[in-house]
Structure 1
Amino acid sequence: MAFPTRRQAALSLLVFACTAAAPAFAQALPDKPVRIMVGASPGGGTDILARMLADKFAPDLKQTVVVENRPGASNTIAAEITAKATADGTTLLLATNTAQAIAPHLLKLKFDPLKDLQPIGLVAVMPNVLVVSAASPYKSLKDLVAAMTAQPGQMKYASSGIGSTQHIAGEAFGLATGTKSIHVPYKGSAQAHVDIIGGDVTMMFDSTSSAMGQIKSGKFRPLAVMSDHRAAELPDVPTMFELGIKGIDVSTWYGLYVTGGTPKPVVDGLTSELVKVLKLPDVQARIKGMGGEVGTLTADAFADMNRQEFERFRKLVKDANIKAEGL
């Protein structure tokens, strides 16, 4: 996944930070709770980040900010609620590339994710990492691939749902290694973790935001990172490329959106608030501790990235012949 260089990202952030947002945007919000919609179950990476943002937004917005989990349909239930909400700035969506760039190529949606949802900004990017249970007999990626080759179509891999980045990563891995495995979709990473640890499912191509807690607690063994560079929090875990498996670059990005048609002063104010929050040392430490990189794109640059990812995943879904059965 191609992101701007650190210099370009820093310049983009500086340019935006110097642009004055409407100072009274918070007063322009209706006097009712602000919702951050999440398309996944509690306990996963999206939920963790959403609750962190809610805690930071509430004092500045002078409003109650609540997180509302609406899992299912590849995270698009929450996205549809946001897309069809009143365009007053009180319904936000913390989404991943699952709903914004992958699901549209699998499902017949009742909204347009590129038109009906207004990007506020990129929150974080987390590489996906191949994990197995700490009790698993597979100590390395080589061990796992050898076993998968010897037992084609026998091993299972978990994901947070059909069309999720974990699902795409698993299928891309199969294409790159010439192996076959059984996809077991769940309604969120938290539930999948239970079966990984219990040994009912062999592996998961999870985002570091979801998997890091289990890795740090010693319940997961990470075998390889699926990005073009090692994760800062997993310096001893090699990338797929380093291990000789090329053509796999799957990361999970998290972006904040608001209902399309929301007045520009409110959109600009929300973007300014997000930029402020993402500069807080404790927020940066939290994101980095989850194995991720803090978002540094302007709203326009993030919108461009979303469109590019939309087209990139269109090709991945087609090449992997991923279908929407079970949704």
Structure 2
Amino acid sequence: MLFRPARRHALGLAASALLFAALPATAQTWPDKPLRIMVGASPGGGTDILARMLADKFAPDFKQTVVVENRPGASNTIAADLTAHAAADGSTLLLATNTGQAIAPHLLKLKFDPLKDLQPVGLVAVMPNVLVVSAASPYRSVKDIVTAMTEQPGMLKYGSSGVGSTQHIAGEAFTLATGTKAIHVPYKGSSQAHIDIIGGAVTMMFDSTSSAMGQIRNGKLRALAVMSDQRAAELPDVPTMAEAGYKGSDVQTWYGLYVTAGTPKPAVDALVGELQRVLKLPDVQARIKGLGGEVGAVSADQFAEMNRQEFERFRKLVKDANIKADGS
């Protein structure tokens, strides 16, 4: 399993209140202009859903307009690049996933350093990836998929939200673990991939539960297995990959909030406190759990260390799977 939040380190509501009370007067004037949350994926996907949830909560507390700006493409790194090069005044935030922060840097030539040019604010959520097929698909189990991939090597197709995305990595991890081959079909977002899976043009997807849960609930996608060490609370009847008989392919998607590096510490502290306060709200926790995930409950420093560890973990996985920027 990638990471399990240590709830004992979460800041409580009281701690957040003390943080705001302790800030100097100059910090309390921040923010003095509207905020934007950059998202490296298309509207409707898991990152977009969580970003809009945060925007709705931040706006009244900060007494500023908070807009979500979608900049999909380049493995989520377009939005990250814009945030890294934005004015370091705390007005530009980034809701990112391990796709852009830990995987893409090993595949693409970037004009920014994700570990140096983006300041971690906090972990928002961790979601397991889930193998899904169309509800009309003849495949009803992981075994059915593996059998078909074995009998028709390199014929079945799996979609992803882009080259180097966690969906792509999960697909490669699955083929490595099962000794099979499949064709990777990258899209600019999960919602676009869903259309082709439901329509039958693509066989399957190793999507995050946050992106796939809506289509699973409405009966358009069938979940075959979750790629984590335990079942998802919102999918209690769906086995883990290990329970399905295939170990070694667990992949999860995490979502974290960042701000431009160099942002004044009082503004960063205010953002950290606000995020921790929001993540304690019952409706926010219910929303994240409803997407099949766990609320991120670690300190900003712990999240930064987690990002560094994930960066190195995926460096090795990309190398071992021989994943290239052209999608091969």
Superposition TM-score, scaled by structure 1 size = 0.96
Q: Give the structure 2 partner of residue 20 of structure 1.
A: 19
- What code does the residue aligned with 2:104 have? A
Question: Gaps (5+ residues) in structure 2?
Answer: none
Aligned partner letter, 1:292: G
Q: Secondary structure at the residue paired with 2:29?
A: helix
**Structure 1: 5+ residue runs without aligned partners?**
none
Count of equivalent residues: 324
- Cα deviation digits, residues 192-235 of structure 1 (max 9, x gap): 00000000000000000000000000111100000111101001
Give SS of 2:150's match: helix
Local SS of the residue matching 1:47: helix
Partner of 2:67: 66
Hey, what does 1:30 align to over in structure 2? 32
The Cα of 1:16 is off from its aligned counterpart by: 9.6
One-letter identity of the residue aligned with 2:117:
D
Displacement of 1:159: 0.1
Farther off after superposition, 296-305 or 241-250 = 241-250
The residue aligned with 1:226 is: 227
1:215, 1:222 within 8 Å by CA — same for their partners in 2?
yes
- Contact 1:115 / 1:260 at 8 angstroms: preserved in 2? yes
Alpha-carbon offset, residue 14 of structure 1: 4.8
Paired position in structure 2 for 1:3: 3
Cα–Cα, structure 1 residues 2 and 201, in superposed 2: closer, same or farther, change >3 Å?
closer
Query: CA shift at 1:156, angstroms?
Result: 0.3
State the partner residue of 2:108.
107
Q: Give percent identity, aligned residues only.
A: 78
Deviations 1:273-316 (A, max 9, x none): 00111111111111100001011011000001000100110111
Aligned to 2:249: 248
| Amino acid paired to 2:9 | L
The one-letter amino acid of 2:31's match is L
Work out the CA distance in 2 between the residues paired with 1:186 and 1:43.
14
Quickly say closer, same or farther: Cα 1:311–1:91, change in 2 above 3 A.
Answer: same
Aligned-residue Cα RMSD (Å) equals 1.7
Q: Alignment partner of 2:19: what SS?
A: coil
- Once the 2 structures are TM-superposed, how far is the Cα of residue 10 of structure 1 from its aligned partner? 1.9
Instruction: Write the deviation string for residues 153-210 of structure 1: whole angstroms up to 9, x where unpaired.
Output: 0000000000000000000000000110000000000000000000000000000000
Looking at structure 2, the residues matched to 233 and 143 of structure 1 have their Cα atoms a distance apart, in angstroms, of: 23
**Distance change >3 Å, CA 197–CA 26, structure 1 → 2:** farther
Q: Is the 8 A contact 1:16 1:298 kept in 2?
A: no
Q: Which residue of 2 aligns with 1:43?
A: 44
Equivalent residue runs for 1:172-187 within 5 Å: 172-187=173-188
CA distance in 2, matches of 1:238, 1:141: 10
CA distance in 2, matches of 1:266, 1:155: 49
2:95 aligned counterpart, secondary structure: strand
TM-score, length of structure 2 as denominator length: 0.95
